[in-house]
Chain A
Amino acid sequence: DTAVSQTPKYLVTQMGNDKSIKCEQNLGHDTMYWYKQDSKKFLKIMFSYNNKELIINETVPNRFSPKSPDKAHLNLHINSLELGDSAVYFCASSQWDRFNEQYFGPGTRLTVT
C-alpha cells in the first residue's frame, strides 16, 4: 500500500546517457512534484504538475523533461546526463488545496560517472 513510489531506487550511468525515473502515487492527489537533493543535502523543487499541467519549473535545464501521462504518474526524463546531475531525486504529491502537505517518495539515487 505504498503511497508514493519511485523506480528505480538506484541508477548508475555514464555521462551523456539518457535515463528516466518513474513516479506513481496512489493517494488520489492531483498535484505532483520533483525535487533534487544534492550532496550537501539541500532539497530544491524542480517541477510541479497539477492535473497533468506544468505549474512550476524552477529554471531547470531543458535536458530535464517531466512527463505526466495521468494524475497518478509523473516521470522524469533526463537527456545527456552530466556529472552534476548526480543527486537524490524525490517525487512528491499533494492535493492542490493542501499544497504544502506533500507526501514524498523514497527517492532515486542517481550517480553519473
Chain B
Amino acid sequence: DAKTTQPTSMDCAEGRAANLPCNHSTISGNEYVYWYRQIHSQGPQYIIHGLKNNETNEMASLIITEDRKSSTLILPHATLRDTAVYYCIVSPGTASKLTFGTGTRLQVTL
C-alpha cells in the first residue's frame, strides 16, 4: 500500500472551513484515496473517497491534485463535533485492506 503523510495536528475555528492535507506521492494508478475520521471513544467513520476527480458529499469535499500525489479534505463549515482524528488512506478499489496511519488530530475551537 502507498504511504501517506499528514500533519500531526491542526486547529480550526468553528464555522470556518477545515482543510486537511495529505501527501501520497507513491500512489499507484489503481489506488483510491479514502478519508475516515475517529471521534474520541468512537469507531472510525467513513467520510469520502476518490480516484482522480474531486468529490463532494454531505459531509465533506475531496480535492485531488492532477498528478494525484496529494489531496485535501475540506469540511466547509467546521463544528465542535468535527473534532476528531482524520485518516487519509490509499488503497486499491478491489478487495484489499485498510491500513490506518497516525492521522491528523483536528481541534475545532470556539
In this assembly, does B44 line the interface, its C-beta being within 8 Å of a C-beta of chain A? yes
* Chain A residues whose C-beta falls within 8 Å of the C-beta of B98 in the assembled complex: 45, 100, 102
Minimal Cβ-Cβ distance residue in A for B47:
A101
In the complex, the answer to whether B49 meets A101 with C-beta atoms within 8 Å is yes
Q: Write the nearest CB–CB distance from B4 to chain A, whole angstroms.
A: 14
Contact with A along B84-100 (1 / 0, CB 8 A): 01000101011111111
A:78-107 near B, CB below 8 Å? 90, 92, 96, 99-107
Q: Write the nearest CB–CB distance from B82 to chain A, whole angstroms.
A: 17
Q: Place the interface of chain B in its size category.
A: 20 to 34
Partner of A107, one of B42, B49, B91, B95: B42
In the complex, the answer to whether A107 meets B43 with C-beta atoms within 8 Å is yes
> For the complex, what is the distance from the CA of A99 to the CA of B46, rounded to whole Å?
12
Q: Write the nearest CB–CB distance from B62 to chain A, whole angstroms.
A: 13
* Chain B residues whose C-beta falls within 8 Å of the C-beta of A105 in the assembled complex: 43
In the complex, the answer to whether B32 meets A100 with C-beta atoms within 8 Å is yes
Q: Write the nearest CB–CB distance from B28 to chain A, whole angstroms.
A: 14
In the complex, the answer to whether A45 meets B97 with C-beta atoms within 8 Å is yes
In the complex, the answer to whether A100 meets B91 with C-beta atoms within 8 Å is yes
In the complex, the answer to whether B95 meets A43 with C-beta atoms within 8 Å is no
Minimal Cβ-Cβ distance residue in A for B89:
A100
* Chain B residues whose C-beta falls within 8 Å of the C-beta of A12 in the assembled complex: none
In the complex, the answer to whether B94 meets A99 with C-beta atoms within 8 Å is yes
> For the complex, what is the distance from the CA of A45 to the CA of B89, rounded to whole Å?
14
Contact with B along A41-79 (1 / 0, CB 8 A): 111110010000001101000000000000000000000
Q: Write the nearest CB–CB distance from A29 to chain B, whole angstroms.
A: 13
In the complex, the answer to whether A92 meets B97 with C-beta atoms within 8 Å is no
List B residues at the A interface (Cβ < 8 Å).
32, 34, 38, 41-46, 49, 85, 89, 91, 93-100, 102
List of 7 A-B pairs having minimum Cβ-Cβ separation, nearest first: A104-B43, A43-B100, A104-B44, A90-B43, A45-B97, A99-B95, A101-B46
